[in-house]
Chain A
Amino acid sequence: MNIHGILAIYKFEMARTRRTLLQSIVAPVITTSLYFIVFGAAIGSRIQQVDGVSYGAFIVPGLIMLNLLTHSISNASFAIYFPKFVGTVYEMLSAPISTLEVVLGYVGAAATKSIILGMIILVTASFFTDLRIAHPIIMLLFVLLTAVSFSLLGFILGIWADNFEKLSVVPMLVVTPLVFLGGSFYSTDMLPPLWQSVSLFNPVLYLVSGLRWSFYEISEVNVAVSLVCIVGFMFACLGVVIYMFKTGYKLRS
């Protein structure tokens, strides 16, 4: 096992973030605050309560999920796309390091960053609303699994993409809509019955629902189903990554 290699990639990625510290910490604090001002204060003053939880508190898990998903994907996809784009990937391909080790380095760093981000959002949110976390361990588990799985997805995306457009199209056109339609900012009970059923095909619904359950013990689907979904998704992504490296997909000609 090439521990030094994994650490080198991990540290390199974390250092890249440290250079843009302002952007990585201040930006999420500001956007979270904006969400609370717009959704929490403006809309929340009319909605009052959802399933017995104040609207401001209700949207916190959704907000965390939204950021975890988008940032995990963009961090990891950019991290591997960029060396491919400028050519420095030659070094990784010629190094005595296995697929799994490369993935550990990149995905580990991307997931670490999104988890830190999630915690920043959680802390910021606590200034705006009364937070109550019923099952902290389960909450952390969901945050961890989501960060890891979607960093894996980002990694796959970064290898697949051969231009910047492809790199941004998936987060923008797929992930963001799924998050907004996945009950991040509302309960699906509020939708007409047809849309309630359609929502069940949205994978993000299961994530938001699971995370929300860890906070307030309210959920759209059983929390066990949510867990199985995210674990399954993680292994599916891992399988794709391993397949990609085995066949050299878009990396080794």
Chain B
Amino acid sequence: MEAVANPILTVSQLGKTYAGGFQALKDINLQIEKGEILALLGPNGAGKTTLISTICGIVRPSTGSVTVAGYDIIKDFRKTRSIIGLVPQELTTDSFESVWSTVSFSRGLFGKAPNPEHIEKVLKALSLWDKKDNMIRTLSGGMKRRVLIAKALSHEPTVLFLDEPTAGVDVSLRKDMWSIVSDLKAEGVTIILTTHYIEEAEEIADRVGVINNGELILIEDKNSLMRKLGKKQLILDLSQPLETLPAGLEGYELELSEDGEKLTYTFDNQGEHTGITSLLDDLKGSGIRFRDLNTTQSSLEEIFVSLVQES
């Protein structure tokens, strides 16, 4: 397990086998740094929700343990659960309650004395203030999603789980959501979110974890991950099409397009020598000239897809 300096959450050898015998989590080891944003990626059914539900107390672990702020989630469930806020994946809300009363209810349920100022602050931050007296069933899906976030924030948690907060949410609301998340981070809240929008993870996460088939196959700092696993490519538009690659260039990882007009060189941008200079020299030596060149870097999405395929 990659140890972190100030762990707020530690998952050790966590396993979950559902009643039917299905093993949804296998030996998960994970530490989460206080104040970071961790994005959990993984295909449908990978076990993301199961992991979150276990930490929050909704699903019982089969093996292993979890501590939050040093407290065990089973022995000291009152301590851990009052620190945690959860926005579930499914849009599950009451129907006939008002926004105000459902959010106040959540605060009470989590053991906090009423604090109308705090509820007001949360509702305003989520642009729900003018809807506070509306019945929940009269709200749109995106608004309901905000209500769930407001409920999760009602008791001032310091660890927040967002299970696919932007599923079925339009672009502007998604942008709002991201700014809410960065505001929370600025307040020192630790955020763990799952998403299928990889650009989302790319944009807001500090670290990225990938779960597949119940296993945490990777957890790493986003930037170093993209540096390490991201491949760079140099694409050359040739002045004259080539039929085959000249013999002198065999040592390079080169690919010639079918029409012979493009030459693609894939290189590891972590290595000390990218080989670009010598490639260009050798191209010149072979008499190959080009009109244009550009480089591309693989996105987190491509990294993710190749990781999941490999495992």
- The residue from B86, B90, B111 contacting A5, defined by CB atoms under 8 A apart: B111
What sequence of 0s and 1s flags, for each residue 219-253 of chain A, a beta carbon within 8 Å of any chain B beta carbon?
A: 00000000000000000000000000000100011
Verify B111–A91 contact, CB threshold 8 A: no
The majority secondary structure among interface residues of chain B is: loop
Residues on the B chain within 8 Å of A9, using CB:
109
Q: What distance in Å separates the Cβ of A57 from its nearest Cβ neighbour in chain B?
A: 40
Q: Which residue of A lies closest to B148 (CB)?
A: A91
What sequence of 0s and 1s flags, for each residue 92-104 of chain B, a beta carbon within 8 Å of any chain A beta carbon?
A: 1111110001000
Q: What distance in Å separates the Cβ of A5 from its nearest Cβ neighbour in chain B?
A: 5
Residues on the B chain within 8 Å of A91, using CB:
86, 106, 109, 151
Verify B105–A12 contact, CB threshold 8 A: yes
A96 to B111 Cα, complex, angstroms: 7
Give 30 CB contacts A-B under 8 Å.
Answer: A3-B111, A4-B112, A4-B114, A5-B108, A5-B109, A5-B110, A5-B111, A8-B105, A8-B107, A8-B108, A12-B105, A19-B96, A86-B94, A86-B95, A87-B90, A87-B92, A88-B92, A91-B86, A93-B57, A94-B84, A94-B86, A95-B109, A95-B110, A96-B77, A96-B78, A96-B81, A97-B109, A252-B58, A253-B18, A253-B60
A220 to B97 Cα, complex, angstroms: 47
Q: What distance in Å separates the Cβ of B67 from its nearest Cβ neighbour in chain A?
A: 15
Residues on the B chain within 8 Å of A7, using CB:
108
In the complex, B275 has a CB within 8 A of chain A: no
Given contacts A86-B92, A88-B94, whether A248 and B60 have CB atoms under 8 Å apart is yes
A11 to B101 Cα, complex, angstroms: 10
In the complex, B65 has a CB within 8 A of chain A: no
CB neighbors of B among A1-58 (8 A): 2-5, 7-9, 11-12, 15-16, 19
What sequence of 0s and 1s flags, for each residue 15-31 of chain B, a beta carbon within 8 Å of any chain A beta carbon?
A: 00011000000000000
A9 to B107 Cα, complex, angstroms: 11
Across the A-B interface, the 5 shortest Cβ-Cβ residue pairs: A8-B108, A87-B92, A96-B81, A96-B78, A94-B56
Interfacial residues, chain A to chain B (CB-CB below 8 A) = 2-5, 7-9, 11-12, 15-16, 19, 86-88, 90-98, 248, 252-253
A167 to B58 Cα, complex, angstroms: 23
Residues on the B chain within 8 Å of A4, using CB:
107-114
Q: Which residue of A lies closest to B56 (CB)?
A: A94
A19 to B78 Cα, complex, angstroms: 32
> What's the interface size class on B, roughly?
35 or more
Residues on the B chain within 8 Å of A97, using CB:
109, 111
Verify A2–B78 contact, CB threshold 8 A: yes
Residues on the B chain within 8 Å of A95, using CB:
81, 109-111
In the complex, B59 has a CB within 8 A of chain A: yes
Verify B108–A90 contact, CB threshold 8 A: no
Given contacts A4-B111, A4-B113, whether A94 and B96 have CB atoms under 8 Å apart is no
Residues on the B chain within 8 Å of A90, using CB:
58, 86, 88, 92
A11 to B102 Cα, complex, angstroms: 11
Residues on the A chain within 8 Å of B84, using CB:
94
Verify B109–A253 contact, CB threshold 8 A: no
Residues on the B chain within 8 Å of A252, using CB:
57-60
Residues on the A chain within 8 Å of B18, using CB:
253
A88 to B109 Cα, complex, angstroms: 13
Residues on the B chain within 8 Å of A12, using CB:
97, 105
A91 to B77 Cα, complex, angstroms: 14
Residues on the A chain within 8 Å of B289, using CB:
none
Q: Which residue of B lies closest to A247 (CB)?
A: B60
In the complex, B82 has a CB within 8 A of chain A: yes
Verify B105–A94 contact, CB threshold 8 A: no
Verify B57–A94 contact, CB threshold 8 A: yes
A98 to B77 Cα, complex, angstroms: 9
In the complex, B231 has a CB within 8 A of chain A: no
Q: A11-B105, A91-B106, A95-B111 are in contact. List 14 more A-B contacts (CB 8 A).
A: A2-B78, A15-B97, A87-B92, A90-B58, A92-B109, A94-B81, A94-B86, A95-B81, A95-B109, A96-B77, A96-B78, A96-B79, A252-B57, A252-B59
A98 to B78 Cα, complex, angstroms: 8
Q: Which residue of A lies closest to B96 (CB)?
A: A19
Q: What distance in Å separates the Cβ of B102 from its nearest Cβ neighbour in chain A?
A: 9
Residues on the A chain within 8 Å of B112, using CB:
4
Q: Which residue of A lies closest to B104 (CB)?
A: A8
Q: What distance in Å separates the Cβ of B190 from its nearest Cβ neighbour in chain A?
A: 16
